[in-house]
Amino acid sequence: MSGPDRPPHIIKQPQLRLPQGRGARPAAAPTVAHPAAPDEGGSAAMPFGSSVAGAKGGIPSWAIALIATVIIVPLIVVGIFASVPDGAPGPRGSDATVQEARSAEARATLGALGDRARVVYQRSPHTGLDIKSLGATREELTGRFFDASAYTCGGTPDNWRARCRNVFETGDPDLEITVNLITGKSSFNR
């Protein structure tokens, strides 16, 4: 039988021989339907444009490629762009990001100075409360945006202040912390 009415070629797999036991029969060889028989000039690989779901009907492979191109690829591109935050800093960072980093560095250093002043005052109330008396070194006060010369501090135990100069570009450029060394309450000027 040949032509379009011919059933798909049946390829027989080799039989698996099992030991013969009492009343046991060898298992039948599994069969696999194949749309094109290699021995009849057909190709075992599917040609471009053939159907994915079988010889008749199904989704043509060009349609799958079109779906992938039109739907899936744009979704991936949108996902990539959605994962990049707005205002992401470039090599030098955005202005807002740099301002936040400068403020964070100054706040951390001023807060550490306030904690150190409180500890020094509680241990020896008659010791001075300036940077040198607190034992803060240049290395401790030097960060990415500020060095030791940007910081000053002093005052009385109930009104001790530390200041970092030129933190902000607008308004009062200095950041200042005020600490009551007796109660531990503290606040920043902005």
Q: What is the pLDDT along the chain (190 residues), one digit of tens a residue?
A: 555 565 666 556 666 666 666 665 655 555 555 555 555 555 555 555 555 555 566 788 888 888 888 888 888 888 887 776 655 555 555 778 888 999 999 999 999 999 999 999 999 988 888 999 999 999 999 999 999 999 999 999 999 999 999 999 888 899 999 999 999 999 999 8
The answer to the question of residue 130 being in a domain is yes
Domain count, the chain: 1
The answer to the question of residue 91 being in a domain is no
The answer to the question of residue 113 being in a domain is yes
The answer to the question of residue 175 being in a domain is yes
The answer to the question of residue 162 being in a domain is yes
C-alpha pair distances (Å), 25 with each of 11, 15, 28, 111: 22, 12, 9, 86
The answer to the question of residue 17 being in a domain is no
The answer to the question of residue 118 being in a domain is yes
Question: Which residue segment(s) compose the domain that 171 sits in?
Answer: 97-188
